[in-house]
Amino acid sequence: MRMKSLILLLLALILALPSIAGAESTEEISGYSRAEGHRYVLFGSYPTEEDGTVKPILWRVLKAGNGEAWLLSEYLLFAAPIHGDYQHYAGWESSDLYKYLNEVFINDAFSAGEQLALLIRTEDGARVTLITSDEMKDASIGFASNNDRLCEGTPYASVAVDPPIFELPAPNFWKEQRNQPHLFKYQKGGFKYSPWWSRTRSADYPHEHRRIMDEGKIGRISTGNSDLGVRPTVYIDLSALALTGGSGTFADPWVLSAGAEEAPAAPTEAPAPEATAEPAPADAPQTDPAPEATPAPAEAFPQSAVEADPRFPALTAEGFLPEGEEEFYLADEENGLWLYASQTLRIEINRRSAPNAKREETVWYEAHIYSHDPGQLFRPYHYDEKLIADWHENKWKFPGEIVAANHLVFAINSDHFIYRVARTHDPDGGGALGLVIRNGEILFEKQKNPASQAYPPLDIMALYPDGSVRVFVTKDLTGKEILSTGATDTLSFGPILVQDGEISVRSKQFGETFQPRTAFGTAEPGHYIAVVVEGRSSGHGQSCIWLAQKMQELGCLNAINLDGGGTAAMVLMGVQINKSGNFGGQNHRLVNEVLGIGYSEKVQPGD
């Protein structure tokens, strides 16, 4: 009897192994590489066509080695929320989607034999999961740019209703949309793509998750949204599978198959995740251990190779007008393009428009300013230097008047610190004023508590004589400490948008509403970037997190949000480009200073 049992057990083990007749070695399976691009496999099956026709699932092989492979679905397989009852969301491992993937989807998509090959390799203890927001940015697995994150759904995903496991509370917006096709779609050229989830919970908004949004950017949204796609990821044991065909290309993917199908199905309950220490958020604010002095300016700013607009006249190799040439200025408002060039300055401004997150059309202006002269830097300019700290509004001027008085080529609004001074009428009392340094002198220092949730947070950008900038969370350093680093001026508003090339967590904590906004930053010494967003009377505005993503996309290493609303202004050659309101017949409110650069005799008072 014992011998018979042993024989039956051996037969069962043999049947559980994949058949190797006609199969090739799975060792040839490889992951993504810059040289070969993505590699693909067919593994498992799931409804694909609109009528529910089941077809093999196409996967990208992200990595492969040591007998294992990490796979990511090439397409979004269905649309669903992370958690139906988003108001009581407790985390990914207890979410509806986690449960669905590991109790229902796993049995729908994989045979019993295929399930034997699924490995647990992630901190959530799941055999089927989603990738993290950090993995969405990992160039080593093929996510080097926003375009790499664009993904479309299968025809089935576009028409399938929510899986029935999701319990949506009533009344609930998404419950009203249930049983309706709703995989949201963007369009870029002729390509339609959709947003999709990560398994990463937002560090700042506990009921939200990180996700891919318009243009392949990484954002966040409520876990209750049901129009986002699900793109599963799995780790597989290649030794438990047979390679039965294909060459690994998109057109001819490798085909993986399992052996006998008598193996047990997945458990009815999702596996409990192993306890792991929660990593610190990647975008947590960083503070400098001690102030460091900024080096003195060089003889000329080195310029990275940047292709100039073809409508410029002939330029030098550095991208400026040759000696003896008269300054060049082009204003093409109809097509949203403004250009300026001299021997030491080049400016390109483009008008853009697109729907914001509320799907309201919004207009903004992107300016790249290149300076070839370390003596020609951005700094605050005033109509009358003697009235720099005068809070009486009858001494303030319109931005165009300040620009003309200083013959400035280009300017944007600054932090409008004088408004906070005027509001208190007493710099030694009242509320916070921030840190205001002008021309190496501390005018006001009443920094805000960094834990305050009130807008603006009064974070700080310091300007340096080498053309660089640095950003500080309020109270990171005192005024004297910032002066000791070599700073000549500070802008105090915030939040910080980009710090050392990374989007700052502060941009997610302040300025969530859609408003006119101004942002300023640098890509390198001598290459400045400014963005002004229209709103209210002329558009619908944007949030600070959008502004942070935009400044990072444009190449900023450090950037800050300045005063917006009716203060937001961008002026080139004495003409305000954006529309910010109607203040006494002018297109802007009164201010005491602008942030400007360049000198031109063509910009004159009264023009």
Which range has the worst mean pLDDT, 184-193, 212-221, 324-333?
A: 184-193
The 10 Å Cβ neighbour count of residue 107 is: 14
293-312 confidence digits (pLDDT tens): 554 444 566 555 457 888 99
pLDDT band at 361 (very low <50, low <70, confident <90, very high): confident
**In the chain, where are the structural domains located?**
16-257, 328-597
Could you say which DSSP state residue 105 is in? I
205-217 confidence digits (pLDDT tens): 788 899 998 888 8
Across the range 328-347, mean pLDDT stands at 95
Across the range 555-578, mean pLDDT stands at 94
34-80 confidence digits (pLDDT tens): 888 999 999 999 999 988 899 999 999 999 999 999 999 999 999 98
**Which residue bears the tokens 């003896």?**
324
The 10 Å Cβ neighbour count of residue 9 is: 10
Q: What is the pLDDT of residue 196?
A: 96
The three-class DSSP label of residue 385 is helix
Distance from C-alpha of 456 to C-alpha of 492, rounded to nearest angstrom: 9
Q: Is the pLDDT of residue 560 over 90?
A: yes
Amino acid at 569: A
Distance from C-alpha of 347 to C-alpha of 329, rounded to nearest angstrom: 9
Q: Is the pLDDT of residue 168 over 60?
A: no
**Which residue bears the tokens 């129009």?**
227
Across the range 459-485, mean pLDDT stands at 94
Which range has the worst mean pLDDT, 161-170, 382-391, 492-501, 541-550?
A: 161-170
Q: Is the pLDDT of residue 151 over 90?
A: yes
Q: Tell me what the pLDDT averaged over the chain comes to.
A: 83
Identify the top-confidence range among 153-162, 419-428, 560-569.
560-569
Task: State the pTM of this model.
Answer: 0.54
Across the range 308-324, mean pLDDT stands at 91
Q: What is the pLDDT of residue 267?
A: 40
Please give the structure tokens belonging to residue 457: 């947070």
Distance from C-alpha of 563 to C-alpha of 540, rounded to nearest angstrom: 17
258-306 confidence digits (pLDDT tens): 854 433 343 434 333 333 333 333 333 344 445 655 544 445 665 554 5
Comparing 607 with 180, the larger pLDDT belongs to 607
Please give the structure tokens belonging to residue 263: 């193996």
Q: What angle do CA 320, 323, 329 make, to 5 degrees?
A: 50
Distance from C-alpha of 216 to C-alpha of 197, rounded to nearest angstrom: 12
Across the range 99-110, mean pLDDT stands at 92
Across the range 538-566, mean pLDDT stands at 90
Q: Nearest-CA neighbor of 373 among 304, 440, 320?
A: 320
Across the range 588-603, mean pLDDT stands at 91
Could you say which DSSP state residue 148 is in? G
Comparing 580 with 328, the larger pLDDT belongs to 328
Strands of 196-201's sheet in order across: 78-79, 229-230, 196-201, 208-212, 218-222
137-148 confidence digits (pLDDT tens): 999 999 988 889
